[in-house]
């Protein structure tokens, strides 16, 4: 199959996945085994809100990331989409988590959230995760 046709196919599959899942996260690795600290933090935020979400690992084929970024006009991974719209990457998702906006966007209760000092509590964790990978 010609390369451009394959790219179109991947792009269509991504667009379809975004439209079919109310909440979908494109990440490095899987929710059970995130392969990057930023993806890990985003998954942790979603899980602590007990928000159901679909996840797509972009690592198996570099074209997934290329086509996704072309669609979303967003250069980094992870990318969270809710109801077909890009909500943000790790930074925005964490900001929204802290402020309670994420629970609102996802349509879940945020009573269970324990306040987390994000910068202090999570940055060292990120370093640990990346060190393990490196």
Could you tell me the two tokens for 94?
């964490």
Binding of another protein at residue 70 (CB under 8 A)?
A: no
CA torsion 112-24-26-60 (nearest 10°) is 120
Phi, psi of 34 (to 5 degrees): -65, 140
Binding of another protein at residue 95 (CB under 8 A)?
A: yes
Using the minimum distance from each CB to another protein, give the nearer residue, 112 or 123: 123
* Least gap, CB of 95 to another protein (angstroms): 7
Binding of another protein at residue 63 (CB under 8 A)?
A: no
Q: Which of 17, 35, 54, 74 binds another protein (CB under 8 A)?
A: 74
Nearest residue to 22 via CA among 46, 58, 57, 48: 46
Contact between 39 and 58 (Cβ < 8 Å): no
Using the minimum distance from each CB to another protein, give the nearer residue, 9 or 95: 95
> Which chain residues interact with another protein by CB under 8 A?
38, 73-76, 86-92, 95, 123, 127, 130
């Amino acid at each position: 199959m010609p390369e451009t046709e394959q790219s179109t196919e991947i792009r269509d599959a991504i667009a379809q996945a975004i439209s079919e899942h109310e909440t979908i996260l494109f990440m490095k690795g899987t929710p059970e085994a995130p392969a990057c600290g930023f993806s890990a933090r985003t998954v942790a935020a979603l899980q602590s809100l007990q928000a159901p979400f679909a996840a797509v690992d972009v690592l198996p084929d570099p074209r997934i990331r290329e086509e996704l970024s072309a669609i979303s006009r967003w250069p980094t991974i992870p990318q969270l989409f809710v109801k077909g719209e890009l909500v943000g990457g790790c930074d925005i998702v964490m900001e929204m988590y802290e402020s309670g906006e994420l629970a609102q966007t996802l349509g879940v209760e945020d009573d269970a959230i324990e306040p987390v000092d994000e910068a202090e509590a999570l940055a060292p964790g990120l370093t640990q995760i990346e060190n393990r990978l490196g």
